[in-house]
Amino acid sequence: MHSTTTPCLMFRKHIAGPVLAAAVAIMITAAHTSAASGGAARPRFKAVAFDYLVLFDPDSVVSEVEQIVPGQGRQLTDVWRTRQFEYAWLRSTYKPDPHAYQLGVDRLHYAKQEILFAAFGGWDAAGAKLFGYPTVWVNRFNQPLEELGVRPDRVVTNLNGLLEFALSPPRTK
């Protein structure tokens, strides 16, 4: 079967997302540097913590794997995804356990309120919000909002929405 994947689509799937994520981190860092030297107002976040699947959707490579191993693209991608999660399960905690979210605070050395959490799933957005992170749910599949008693600060459909939220000024109450 011939693939209809164009170079532009390949770029968007495999490069643009991670590059945008890096751009968010760089822009936040630059804004802090500017604020520290008397430039623009200080941004509201010092870091963005990304859920793995926000940056890379394993389903995006099924058609390419299918070209290499016809008839097994989905199966191999599912095995690969499972291995990624098995690695995470080797840790003593996993989401939505608050200890999992505490790892970001411990590793980044910032307060919860200074770390924007970008979640892939609605349940993860709820867990991060309950933990105390400002939270954006990157809802690529337009799923309904989870009924878990808490809402993320913003729901977006792509990383551009995340970037817009991360760089926007805080709302005044």
Q: Say if 87 falls within a structural domain.
A: yes
Q: Say if 2 falls within a structural domain.
A: no
**pLDDT tens string 32-59:** 555 565 655 666 788 777 766 655 666 6
Q: Say if 1 falls within a structural domain.
A: no
Domain hosting residue 45, numbered range: 7-167
Confidence of residue 14 (pLDDT cuts 50, 70, 90): very low
Say if residue 17's pLDDT is above 50: no
Q: Say if 159 falls within a structural domain.
A: yes
Q: In angstroms, what CA-CA distances link 112 with 7, 41, 150? A: 39, 20, 17
Q: In angstroms, what CA-CA distances link 46 with 42, 116, 149? A: 9, 8, 27
Using CA of residue 165, residue 160, residue 126, residue 107, what is the dihedral sign?
Answer: negative
User: 141: domain CATH number?
Assistant: 3.40.50.1000
Q: Say if 101 falls within a structural domain.
A: yes
What's CA 68's distance to the chain center, in Å?
A: 29
Say which residue, 12 or 60, is predicted with more confidence. 60
Say which residue, 158 or 80, is predicted with more confidence. 158
Alpha-carbon distance of 5 to 9, in angstroms, equals 6
Q: Say if 126 falls within a structural domain.
A: yes
Domain count, the chain: 1
Q: Say if 19 falls within a structural domain.
A: yes
Q: Say if 29 falls within a structural domain.
A: yes
DSSP state letters, 80-118:
HHHHHHHHHHTSS--TTSHHHHHHHHHHHT--GGGEEEE
CA 163-165-170 angle, 5° bins: 140
